[in-house]
Amino acid sequence: MFIKNNIIVLSKIKYSESDLIIKAYSREQGIISYILKGILKQKKGKLRASHFQLLSQLAVESNHKPNRQLQSIKDARLNYFYKSIHTNVFKASIIIFLSEMLSSVIKEEEPNEALYDFLVTSFQWFDHQDEFANFHLLFLVKLTKYLGCYPDVSNIEAPFFSMSKGVFTDEEQDVYSISDNNLTILKQLLGTNFEAINSIQLSAQQRQSFLNMFLLYFELHLGDFKKPKSLEVFKQVFS
């Protein structure tokens, strides 16, 4: 079956001397994996290895075969050309970290157009920014909305937040309740958007503390979640 898909590359691994295996999230079908045979040695043709960088946004044509784990791509073109996220060392570190996060938490084999559109617009916005230190924090908070574990903000003025229940509470609930500076940051992030993110002033230490806390939130709500292997390198880049 000949199929056209709009995809975002979540991960890629080298397979043999010249092949790549790509895991992607598509607007039309959810998670799809592709094998790109010979692409690492290919000098001519429609497919280029440079098109399949992490979080690249592509329109692909494939000969889709049901029940096959790895599909093959016949043609691909960029839907959007990134200007900075793969060349700026700090942005590239964020991209590596977030792509690993997305590869871990997105399991859907069914389409979710709202999630796909969120990813597309978020990364295009990120690509144009000169100040982006808080981007990954707000991105992760907003991502929970599409994973079914967005914090309940109906009682957001309360002095505690129960990470295990995902609600703001008037009293400490358990060992996963927070009431420190991370609570203030969470409230700030829940009350803003990307356009206003730079108004939140945080130190590198505060960002790392909040990130550690929010990764625990992912662990509590997504049973098979594992912290990205790139986390330590990511922290070192921004320390």
Neighbours of 132 (CB within 10 A): 20
Q: How confident is the model at residue 148 (pLDDT cuts 50, 70, 90)?
A: very high
Average pLDDT over residues 161-179: 96
Write down the pLDDT at residue 136: 97
Chain CA centroid to CA 9, Å: 10
Average pLDDT over residues 198-218: 95
Write down the pLDDT at residue 46: 74
Report yes or no: 27 and 86 within 8 Å, Cβ to Cβ. Answer: no
Q: What percent of the chain has pLDDT over 90?
A: 81
Better-predicted residue by pLDDT, 15 or 118: 118
pLDDT at 158 over 80: yes
Residue 14 makes CB contacts below 8 A (sequence gap 6+) with 20, 40
Q: Please, what is the Cα angle at 159 between 216 and 136, to 5 degrees?
A: 40
Neighbours of 4 (CB within 10 A): 12
Write down the pLDDT at residue 169: 97
Average pLDDT over residues 96-124: 94
* pLDDT tens readout for residues 17-43: 889 999 999 999 999 999 999 898 877
Torsion angle in degrees (nearest 10) through CA of 169, 203, 135, 181: 0
pLDDT at 53 over 90: yes
Query: What residue spans in the chain does CATH classification 2.40.50.140 cover?
Result: 2-80
Q: How confident is the model at residue 238 (pLDDT cuts 50, 70, 90)?
A: confident
Write down the pLDDT at residue 12: 95
- Determine the topology of domain 89-237 in CATH: de novo design (two linked rop proteins) (1.20.1440)
Write down the pLDDT at residue 66: 81
Write down the pLDDT at residue 16: 85
Write down the pLDDT at residue 61: 94
Query: What residue spans in the chain does CATH classification 1.20.1440.120 cover?
Result: 89-237
- Each as own residue / partner, the long-range contacts of residues 184-188 (CB below 8 Å, 24 or more positions apart, any chain) are 185/137, 185/210, 186/141, 186/151, 186/161, 186/210, 186/214, 187/156
Write down the pLDDT at residue 17: 86
Write down the pLDDT at residue 209: 96
Q: Which CATH number fits domain 2-80: 3.30.300.10, 1.20.1630.10, 2.40.50.140, 1.20.210.10?
A: 2.40.50.140
pLDDT at 200 over 90: yes
Write down the pLDDT at residue 70: 93
pLDDT at 110 over 90: no
Rounded-to-integer distance, Cα 111 and Cα 102, Å: 15
Write down the pLDDT at residue 216: 97
Write down the pLDDT at residue 237: 81
